[in-house]
Amino acid sequence: MLEFDTVVLGGGGAGLRAAIEAAKNSDLRVALISKCMPLRSTTGCTGGGMNAMLNLRGDDSLDIYYQDTMAGSAYLADESAVRLYVESSARNISELQEYKNFFFRDEQGKLTQHRAPGGSAARICSTLPHSLAHSLHDKLNRSAVTQLYNTHALKIVVEQGRLAGIVVYDAIQGEILPIACKSLVVATGGYGQIYWANTTTPFGCTGDGINLCMQVGIGFKDAEMVQFNPTGVAGSGTLLSDAARGAGAYLLNSQGERFMSKYDPEAMEKSTRDKTALAIEREIKAGYGVHGPNGELGVVLDMRHLDRESFGGRLDSVYDKAQDFIGVDLSRETLLVRPAAHFSMGGIYIADYTSCATRVAGIYAAGEAACMSVHGANRLGGNALGEVLTFGRLAGEHAAAFAQANALVGASLREYAQMWREKFSYLTSKQSTHSLSSIRECLGKTMCANLGIIRSAESINEALTELEVLQAQYNGLGLTDSGLVMNNEFVQYTETGNMLSVAKAIGLAAAARRESRGSHYRTDHPQPREKYLQHTIVSKLNGQLQVQLRPLGV
């Protein structure tokens, strides 16, 4: 059995930053465990825009940044967490520069910043795509952290209210292993793949850490708050950055109208993601969508009036991505876009945002897997990477402190590992009544159709009913691959189980929130209601998922 002091689950930005921080204590044995290489994580796919209150132009302040974030969240964010976050934003930039991360600068060598949709000042510090993940991974490689990749978490083990360790599947070695640890940071990312039919997220975003935490009694906070990025390329998983809208791109319907004048006449295309995504869907449902060559529907993104050279390279990734992946020259042609599932504001319920601790002693969480209540009902563009760094650092710091102060406990770890080995043997001896691929396909279509941007009691109930059917089909699955080395079927089996659980939690939370707020829009309750200015918490009680409402700040 492997033993570590602190284990970090997840190789994205939050996991890397947590492991780097935990490893500062040279007396501790720290491990980073991830099912993919860090450069293939969501952070590794990012365009690299990050908000920071540097006030280089003299027109910004911490209070203005705070107000923008609160307003963008539809006031569902927790004030104290947002304060901590915005106050740390400048530190994040300084740390990344220490890690040799590249940022765009002007001719005098000063950092350049631009304004993102939803922001009232220029805060976005632009870096090259993939740069952040490379910088963090390089820093990690210069530490003593043990790195285990192609390794999948199967279970978190808790004994008497405290973390004992985890059970993992090591795909390279072909083993199911117990790993004892004193503290654990869960940084496994979001769950966009439950909307696989229309999502920008990598294949590994299956909500693993969130479901594993629910299984040990940790709640899932604000599960219904799923963000759809307005400028997903219609009929594709490709995402164009908010930088396009921030630079002045137009959104046009089939009549050639800049339709955002009907929904947010002041901000227009620079409106927040939730308002823009909802506006696009409304235009399409009203019959003003534009048909693409393969039958896809969307609206037109027009950047032909922009002078590419005047943006000093920060829009190059937008132009290059459109050219390389879609074959469209945005300086001469328009492109069809439609909102795609992009980010999860909800996540693991954090009991103390200053330490990233959950309600189970020894378990911490950070990044998109966690809900720090910084984003509330809608995340502002540029706030994700900063959150990753701020709370990844805090999670690593406090997880290491907990490990230093406590001893290992894990008497039952080997038993749980053996239970998973027996389960694998059972699955490989069992005939399937349905196919894994069909369940995943139906899940994606069900979520997009019924729990997407526009929802209602009818659609939510339809989704929950279909999820029960899919769960029953999942329970009847068997595996055809009996080998444990690089068994992708087994990996997809565990991921699908996690996604079904997360999807049900989203449905339950959406049903409980009888209002419209931020990214959660219900046609039967189209206005925000003060009664629901609360968080939803989905917890597993007596084997069943249940939802409760709790006041802000709790």
Tokens of 312: 């000093």
Catalytic residue among 17, 40, 273, 314: 273
* Residue 380 backbone phi and psi in degrees, to 5: -75, 140
Pairing outcome for strands 363-365 and 30-34: unpaired
Tokens of 208: 């693993």
* Residue 475 backbone phi and psi in degrees, to 5: -65, -20
Burial label, 445 (beta-carbon count in 10 A; 0-12, 13-18, 19+): middle
**What sign does the CA torsion over 245, 250, 254, 255 have?**
positive
Q: Which residues contact 472 (CB under 8 A, 6 or more apart)?
A: none
Three-state SS string across 71-124, please? HHCCCCCCHHHHHHHHHCHHHHHHHHHHCCCCCCECCCCCECEECCCCCCCCCE
Contact 306, 352 (CB under 8 A): no
Contact 420, 46 (CB under 8 A): no
What are the residue ranges of helices labelled H in 322-366?
A: none
H or E, element range at 427: helix 413-428
Q: Which residues contact 295 (CB under 8 A, 6 or more apart)?
A: 235
Query: Measuring CA to CA, which residue among 522, 456, 535 is closest to residue 223?
Result: 535
CA distance 435 to 380: 39
Number of H helices, E strands in the chain: 15, 23
HSE at residue 223, side-chain half, CA atoms within 13 A, is 31
Contact 50, 116 (CB under 8 A): no
Active-site residue, 314 included: no
CA distance 283 to 338: 11
Q: Which residues contact 511 (CB under 8 A, 6 or more apart)?
A: 457, 460, 461, 464, 547
Coil/strand/helix, residue 325: helix
Active-site positions read 273
